[in-house]
Structure 1
Amino acid sequence: MGKGGQDQAKRADLTPPKSNFPAWSKTIPECESHFKVSADRGLSTAEASDRLKIYGPNELEKHSGPSIFQLILEQFNDTLVRILLVAAVVSFVLAWYDGDEGGEMGITAFVEPLVIFLILIVNAVVGVWQENNAEKALEALKEIQSEHAMVKRDGVFTPNLPARELVPGDIVELRVGDKVPADMRVLYLISSTLRVEQGSLTGESAAVNKTNKRVELETTVVNGSCVCMVVQTGMNTEIGKIHSQIHEASQEDDDTPLKKKLNEFGETLTAIIGVICALVWLINVKYFLSWDYVDGWPRNFRFSFEKCTYYFEIAVALAVAAIPEGLPAVITTCLALGTRKMAQKNALVRKLPSVETLGCTTVICSDKTGTLTTNQMSAVKLLAMGRWTDSLRSFKVDGTTYDPCDGKIHDWPGSNMDANLQMIAKIAAVCNDASIAHSGHQYVASGMPTEAALKVLVEKMGLPAGCSPSLLESDGLLRCCQWWKGTAQRIATLEFDRTRKSMGVIVKSKSGSNSLLVKGAVESLLERSAYVQLLDGSVVLLDDNSKHLILQALHEMSTNALRCLGFAYKDDLAEFSTYDGEDHPAHKLLLDPSNYSSIESDLIFVGMVGLRDPPRQEVHKAIEDCRAAGIRVMVITGDNKETAEAICREIGVFRPEEDISMRSLTGKEFMFHLDKKSLLRQKGGLLFSRAEPKHKQEIVRLLKEDGEVVAMTGDGVNDAPALKMADIGIAMGIAGTEVAKEASDMVLADDNFSTIVAAVGEGRSIYNNMKAFIRYMISSTIGEVA
């Protein structure tokens, strides 16, 4: 058989791999076998073409939205509007009929029906304009998708292959800045490390290190490069699943509370008007329907069509008088004015009906990080070693922002810093990739929030006596950090990973000697530390008593919801003692992250710091306002349980001594709970930690089934389905993704929980104003009918 025949037979035998294959949990050979591909050669052009026919293009489905005609019809899907429409049509016909019959056909006869028609047309135009912009969330998702990819076909990497042509089994190379074009499994790393920004999809705040052992889901490569295998494309990817969830949620849009009540009122009003009109017409039936009586018996039947029409006009006029024609216009005007007021309070309303829905809100489901807290990490406690191995020194640190001048360190020795404190400052400043800038009226950090907080701490610590900072930065914000960097030049970086839970840098001092500076999880550093540095700089063995003392202090800080980082260093670097760059023989050890733990061994432990994301100052009062207004607050966060509970107690979601054993659950605990609705019906606040997107959706669904009006906050792509499902989806304007904003009903310009509460208060005021307008109009129409 010739080569062409072999290829044809091979393509004929091709069966599509199962779509639910968990590639991330399988070995590389298992993945190659399942997808029938070799990582060295990739797919052939013919195989890729066949698979493209089986799986379809790697793109999101285009859901055709409703036509303009359908949108126009939907605007008349309202009881009062339909009554007005019928009344206007009948009035117009009767006015025309009167004119044709020789009646007084003046312009005044058409004023009423024309005014009603004009009101309905304006109302329909506004409604169509809103609805036409409601599905942009699905379009925003497509911006996340990559347009091109470097794909290996027939053993050769093809650059700029359209991403829509990717199929499961394709071998793709990713580099820094690339958008990940499909769900993929890492085969091997080209660089020493690989970090991926996936926060918009998973909710993680930091870029995540990846290896070829197991991977989760990613979006953008921020560091390193690798070769991957495509495992899912198009609508089968995680982005595709979110796309489907948003579309499903958009199909389930419920009427707003006010619209439901107006529809009920309209149905009642229709019945009453119908009865009254029929009675009025029947009462006057004797004037157009009669009999001539002869000898007491009815003989000749008399019917006056003109009088019948006349009294029918009276009945119709009565119906028109009973309907508040200006109601749609009044409601639209109130809502439009309400959006302007809310915008002044940093709440940007995207859909008019959301204004009145806010006024009916009974439950607020809020994220913690950035909404209830500042999303600015700050150091609050510094622990250093004492004069002896059985003593520790503790320093309280003030300040809640990235402003180096915000707060101070209590009981600080000033420029008389001992050798131990100097080493802590040096590690915090040099083993650090963050930076801080002054933007407008606030200080903004770039990089990891924890690292930014460490740099602020270094500035508060100051410099040792006799040291003058060089103003290397134009604004002089981080002068102390720059000075420490001048004393130790970074020549290599051991990137953080989840296995060893630390980051290290090899630095060269001015004297020419190399040393290793490390920061990371305290327990992890203690396991790899053999020594401890005391107050005077002397180094002694790390005994069990010292280790127990440090771990006890760590437990106390962790109990108070502090995130703790330890500091350590090492002077004896063996083969790295003369390391000077990529040409050094020891550089090959840095290419394999599995070597980092052995390099970071026999460390000298120097101290630790406790950091936290402090709550916003105004949040406590906002929580109290919610409680007073009868609004329940539920905190749903991806953070750990202990930290979230401490924050919730501090801001007033829970009382200081309240038993929260049944009020604080993880997302998984909630999903396995036997009676979820009873749990959600509890009075007072609730906390759901380690929550995933599907947990948020389930909570919203159950609350809505129970008759609650739910406001939900979110910022990531993964929050979009829950935002769409909630009665009021509230996206973060600063930290939120475009997908979340487009799926939401309201956007917070300042990402602040108190803004939500202020918006709810404004919504209630508007809702009450509209009810007052409606009562006034109904009372006026009753007068007209009477």
Structure 2
Amino acid sequence: MEDILKYAHIYNVEDVLKAVKVDENRGLSENEIRKRIMQYGFNELEVEKKKGIFELILNQFDDLLVKILLLAAFVSFALTLLDMKDNEVALCDFIEPVVILMILILNAAVGVWQECNAEKSLEALKQLQPTKAKVLREGKWEVIDSKYLTVGDIIELSVGNKTPADVRIIKIFSTSIKAEQSMLTGESCSVDKYAEKLDESLKNCEIQLKKNILFSSTAIVAGRCIAVVIKIGMKTEIGNIQHAVIESNNEETDTPLQIKIDSFGKQLSKIIFIICVTVWIINFKHFSDPVHESFLYGCLYYFKISVALAVAAIPEGLPAVITTCLALGTRRMVKKNAIVRKLQSVETLGCTTVICSDKTGTLTTNQMTATVFHIFRESNTLKEYQLCQRGETYFFYETNTNQDDEEDSFFKKLKDEENNESNYKKKISKNIIHDEDDSSDEREPLMKMKSSVNTIISRGSKIIDDKINKYSYSDFDYHFYM
């Protein structure tokens, strides 16, 4: 069974249904559903364990330079208390440690705020996984939470739906069915799907060649079909991506900036330590001066001077300046629709010279654009070409229900050509109309069609261009492009 589910694209529908032990006309029984949920778990993606606010705060102090500043603030505070006389406390005595602590707290607050905002934005990505599914169970169609889908469920998918799991197509009820799966494969156009099995030579093929499989979280842009669930949750293709993301987050490495700051902190700490010890030793002969009352007080006095020198040498504002600069870079990237999860990644991206990435949906917007539009009659341009639109989305409204990319670009171009037109498609058949320009009682039906030049000319013999003329292929090409 596991082998058939793994390579369902090379098996007949009957073999797949037999492997999952389900009747395509009845679906699974309630008892079988409970057993399979116990076996396979719920149909949901794992999420990375969220860090608590306390852990986020501690992470902001996990830096060598910050630790040096904390140590300096603590020592300065301790020496101020030791230097108190007659229990008199002056606020000015604590200015130095308080200022250091305020800078570090502000630095941590900015870092925590940025990470919290990024996490909230990433939560929205979970919406990629659909929440509802139309499923056949015990002979009845019902809509359920996709979380409760299991292997062997029979589901129905149509235009506008998002596939709730990896499924093998059983039967197609429309002329064709198309899916938009650029999030997995980077393909800029929607992909035709069908129910026939693939050749066994394609057993280990790439996912874009699995034409009879619909993948979880991909959108149906044309057609209607029924399919059987073969993989759920983290076993799906989108689940594999989620698993890789979680693993990469667990294998954190220092960025170039962090490495340089740590190196700078180590060198600075060594230099400061040497200078402080040198200053303290140089003043050894003054430990017993009468002004210090005793050798111990003299020792503490010059130790305090050494610590003050160390604190003065440490760039207290450096962590805050770095964090602020990275935060400003992050805000600029947010305006460009880029979510930055960790501040340090901004610096890493700035040092990057080569990016290996699937450009679709990352470097490009994954939206096709029609640049040239040819027509052969000026009458009813927008009204007539509306009839060639597939689906139910009308382009002059702001709504979009996962329409085909080609359809989208085509009708956006029409919108630019003629705006503020009434929705002619609502009033008349989508495929065949009567010519409204014909004033005679006997009106001839016209079929409206859009496609590539070669496709259209291969299906006809004449072209309407003010008058009806018969063209050869070469004449047509010359006429069209001139």
TM-score band by shorter chain is 0.7 to 0.9
Deviation string 1:702-736 (CA, Å, 9 cap, x unpaired) is xxxxxxxxxxxxxxxxxxxxxxxxxxxxxxxxxxx
Task: Give the match for residue 431 of structure 1.
Answer: 388
- Distance in 2 (CA, whole Å) between partners of 1:344 and 1:69 is 26
8 Å Cα contact 2:4/2:19 also seen in 1: no
SS at 2:449's partner residue? strand
After TM superposition, the score normalised by the length of structure 1 is 0.49
Q: In 2 relative to 1, CA 191–519 (structure 1 residues): closer, same or farther, beyond 3 Å?
A: closer
State the distance in 2 between where 1:358 and 1:263 align: 19
More helix as a share of residues: 2
CA-CA distance at 1:273 after TM superposition: 0.7
Which of 202, 213, 216 is 1:215 aligned to? 213
Equivalent in the alignment of 1:519: 450
1:313 to 300, 304, 313: 304
AA of the residue aligned to 1:305: L
Structure 2 CA distance for aligned equivalents of residues 374 and 146 of structure 1? 21
Q: Residue 102 of structure 1: CA displacement?
A: 5.4
Alpha-carbon shift at residue 82 of structure 1 (Å):
0.8
Identity %: 39
Q: Deviations over 1:531-551 (max 9, x none)?
A: 3448641347xxxxx44x379
- Answering whether residue 153 of structure 2 is matched by residue 160 of structure 1, we say no
Report 1 or 2 for greater relative contact order, CA contacts < 8 Å, sequence distance ≥ 6: 2
**1:189 deviation in Å?**
2.7
CA contact 1:123–1:328 (8 Å) conserved in 2: yes
The answer to whether the aligner puts 1:123 opposite 2:101 as a matched pair is no
Match of residue 234 from structure 2: 235
**What residue number does 1:276 align with?**
275
Q: Is 1:88 aligned with 2:73?
A: yes
1:435, 1:447 within 8 Å by CA — same for their partners in 2? no
Shift of 1:87: 0.9
User: Compared with structure 1, are the counterparts of its residues 87 and 550 closer, same or farther at alpha carbon in structure 2 (3 Å cutoff)?
Assistant: farther
Q: Which amino acid letter does the alignment assign opposite residue 120 of structure 1?
A: L
Match 1:377 to one of 348, 362, 369: 369
Taking the aligned partners of 2:10 and 2:455, their CA distance within structure 1 comes to 26
C-alpha change, 1:174 and 1:157, in structure 2 (3 Å) is: farther
3-state SS, counterpart of residue 71 of structure 2 = helix
- Residues 285/119 of structure 1: CA separation in 2 closer, same or farther (3 Å cut): same
| Superposition RMSD in Å | 4.3
Give the 3 Å change call, closer, same or farther, for CA 457–431 of structure 1 in structure 2. Answer: farther
Which SS does the other structure have where 1:226 is aligned?
A: strand
One-letter amino acid of the counterpart of residue 455, structure 1: L
Map residues 339-354 of structure 1 onto 2, 5 A cutoff: 342=332, 353=344
* 2:58 is the alignment partner of 1:78: no
Is residue 324 from structure 1 mapped to residue 307 from structure 2 by the alignment? no
1:226 aligns with 2:225: yes
What is the Cα deviation at residue 216 of structure 1? 4.2
Secondary structure in 1 matching 2:58: helix
Task: Report the Cα distance in structure 1 between the residues aligned to 2:261 and 2:362, rounded to whole angstroms.
Answer: 38
What amino acid does structure 1 have at the position aligned with 2:461? Y
1:18: Cα distance to partner? 4.3
**Structure 2 residue 464 is the aligned partner of structure 1 residue 538:** no
Q: Which runs of 5+ in 1 are unaligned?
A: 1-15, 290-302, 385-416, 440-444, 460-472, 493-504, 541-545, 555-606, 611-786
**Cα distance change on mapping 1:228 and 1:517 into 2, 3 Å:** same
Q: 1:426: how far off? A: 9.3
Secondary structure of 1:537's match? Answer: strand
1:183 maps to 2:166: yes
Quote the offset at 1:319 in angstroms.
1.0
Aligned with 1:144 (options 112, 128, 134)? 128
Q: Which amino acid aligns with 1:328?
A: P
Q: Give the SS at the match of 1:173.
A: strand
Match of 2:32 in 1: 47
- 1:307-706 equivalences under 5 Å are 307-335=298-326, 342=332, 353=344, 359-363=350-354, 367=359, 377-380=369-372, 430-432=387-389, 437=396, 448-452=407-411, 455=414, 475-476=420-421, 491=429, 505-510=431-436, 511-525=442-456, 528-529=458-459, 531-533=461-463, 536-539=467-470, 546-547=472-473, 549=474
Residues 176-197 of structure 1, C-alpha deviation per residue, up to 9 Å, x if partnerless?
4433211111211344544444
C-alpha distance 457-32 of structure 1, shift in aligned 2 (>3 A): same
Task: Find the aligned partners of 2:336 and 2:144 in 1 and give their Cα distance.
Answer: 43
Distance 1:185 1:335 in 2: 46
The alpha-carbon distance between structure 1 residues 34 and 608, as it changes in their structure 2 partners (threshold 3 A), is: farther
Q: In terms of mean alpha carbon deviation, does 47-56 or 240-249 score higher? A: 240-249
**Is the aligned partner of 1:107 residue 2:91?**
yes
Q: Secondary structure at the match of 1:520?
A: coil
* TM superposition score normalised by structure 2: 0.76
- Please state how far the C-alpha of 1:113 moved relative to its aligned partner: 1.2
Q: In structure 1, what is the Cα distance between the partners aligned to 2:382 and 2:397?
A: 22
CA distance in 2, matches of 1:446, 1:80: 52
The answer on whether the counterparts of 1:88 and 1:113 sit within 8 Å (CA) in structure 2 is yes
State the 1:238 CA deviation: 2.2
CA contact (8 A) 2:178 2:221 kept: yes
For the residue of structure 1 that corresponds to 2:461, the secondary structure is strand
What is the DSSP-based 3-state SS (H/G/I as helix, E as strand, rest coil) of the residue aligned with 1:188?
strand
Q: Secondary structure at the match of 2:42?
A: coil
Shift of residue 28, structure 1, vs aligned partner: 0.4
> 2:291 maps to what in 1?
none
Quote the Cα distance in structure 2 between the aligned partners of 1:150 and 1:456.
35
Hey, what's the Cα distance between the residues in 2 that align with 1:519 and 1:529? 12
C-alpha spacing 1:285/1:103, structure 2 compared with 1 (3 Å)? farther
Distance of 1:358 and 1:243 partners within structure 2: 22
Q: Residues 123, 145 of structure 1: CA spacing in aligned structure 2 closer, same or farther, 3 A cutoff?
A: same
Amino acid paired to 1:304: F
Tell me which amino acid in the other structure corresponds to 1:377.
T
* Displacement of 1:36: 2.4
Higher-strand-fraction structure: 1
User: What is the CA-CA distance between 1:58 and the residue it aligns to?
Assistant: 0.7
Q: Read off the aligned partner of 1:118 and give its amino acid letter.
A: M
CA–CA distance in 1 between the matches of 2:365 and 2:61?
A: 44
Distance across 2 between alignment mates of 1:118 and 1:363: 39
Structure 1 position 83, deviation (Å): 0.7
Tell me the distance in 2 between the aligned counterparts of 1:347 and 1:177.
24
Per the alignment, do residues 108 and 453 of structure 1 end up closer, same or farther by CA in structure 2, a change over 3 Å counting?
Answer: closer
Asked whether the 8 Å contact 1:278–1:315 carries over to 2, the reply is: yes
Evaluate the alpha carbon distance shift between residue 77 and residue 425 of structure 1 in structure 2; reply closer, same or farther with a 3 A threshold.
closer
Contact between 1:17 and 1:35, CA under 8 Å: does it hold in 2? no
